[in-house]
Amino acid sequence: MDFKHESVLLNECIENLKIKSDGIYVDGTLGGAGHSKYILEKLDSGLLIGIDQDEDALKAADDVLKKVNSNYKLVHSNFSDVINVLDELGIDKIDGILLDLGVSSYQIDNPERGFSYMKKGDLDMRMDQSQSLTAKKVVNEYSYDELIDIFFKFGEEKFSKRIARHIVEKRGEKEISTTIELVDIIKESLPSSALHKDSHPAKRVFQAIRIEVNNELGIIENTIFNVIKRMNKGGRVVIITFHSLEDRIVKHAFKELYIDCICPPGMPICTCGKQREIKIITKKPIYPTGDELNVNSRSRSAKLRVAEKI
């Protein structure tokens, strides 16, 4: 299966990165190089560093980028490890980083990867297929309370208890091994009123399991804090999120970096020593245009936030 992915908010990302021809830029979620291709086209003596934990993505990206120029390096890693990646490449400062936190169309559409609640496949959901934790392990080995916790916290699923109880009952009879088996269990757990809403009844649970398997939320904030320290003045952090949990984390991290003093109110002088590190470019997030939504319906929930190192 070819690695295809429609790049979300492409023009908005490239514009907000403020790319310099001699700058160093990181695409921390390389995918099929949809965004990176356009970054690389703007580089002369600069460098693009592409990071992805999916080997298929790296191979597909290399095929795309080598047709543009050779000013790039690809690394099999997670964007949370960007500081070590920079150290290994001998790079002190960068001029921009792009993070597209969505799952690629390739991963969703490929049944073998187990991300889709619309197609039958093994319960996998690993973005990095070398890791040991899979969706199957979560569904079959997590306790009742642990399942409730991740469904509610990561999926904001109000029927978390009912779904978790039904999963525990069913896995007691036999292992739950496919996406469709899990979808059927979720549907059986829900009241009829919840089955006829606009969104798929399994969407929230699948999102929650995917986030748990890949530790998606746990790595965002620290990555932002760490990468800002390695930014040149004027460098941009450009982040696309796809659900409220991610967006909330990015918004909070930007706010923390923007605050100039955290001393208690009423202190005559600042003793905390905290200094503002960024200016927030997007007071409100940027959304896809109507034209983009017509071409790519999966961009519907996307939000873009941008900050600049000062």
pLDDT tens across 10-34, in order? 999 999 999 999 999 999 999 999 9
CA–CA separation, 56 vs 31, rounded Å? 9
pLDDT of residue 298: 82
Q: Quick one: pLDDT band at residue 67, thresholds 50, 70, 90? A: very high
Average pLDDT of the residues of the chain: 94
pLDDT of residue 242: 94
Q: What is the CATH number assigned to the segment(s) 10-101+217-309?
A: 3.40.50.150
CA–CA separation, 175 vs 184, rounded Å? 14
76 DSSP β-pair partners: 52
Instruction: Report the relative pairing of strands 278-280 and 231-241 from DSSP bridges.
Output: unpaired
Helices then strands, each counted (H, E), the chain: 13, 7
Residue reference for tokens 């356009």: 38
pLDDT of residue 102: 84
CA–CA separation, 247 vs 239, rounded Å? 9
For 98-125, what is each residue's pLDDT tens digit?
Answer: 999 988 878 888 999 999 999 999 999 9
Mean pLDDT within 193-198? 80
- Given a cut of 60, is residue 70 above it in pLDDT? yes
Sequence ranges of the chain with CATH classification 3.40.50.150: 10-101+217-309
DSSP 8-state class, residue 268: S
What distances in angstroms separate CA 41 from CA 19, 59, 65, 93, 98, one per listed residue? 10, 19, 9, 21, 15
For the whole prediction, is pTM greater than 0.85? yes
Long-range contacts at 256-263 (CB < 8 A, ≥ 24 apart): 256/225, 257/224, 257/225, 257/228, 257/307, 258/307
Q: Quick one: pLDDT band at residue 272, thresholds 50, 70, 90? A: confident
Share of residues in the chain with pLDDT > 70 (%): 98
In 3D space, the residue among 280, 276, 277, 278 whose CA is nearest the CA of residue 306 turns out to be 280
Sequence ranges of the chain with CATH classification 1.10.150.170: 112-214
Residue 105, token pair as written in the block: 């169309």
Those residues with Cβ within 8 angstroms of residue 117's Cβ, 6 or more apart along the chain or in another chain: 179, 182, 183, 200, 202, 203, 206
Mean pLDDT within 188-194? 92
Q: Quick one: pLDDT band at residue 181, thresholds 50, 70, 90? A: very high
Superfamily, domain 112-214: Putative methyltransferase TM0872, insert domain (1.10.150.170)
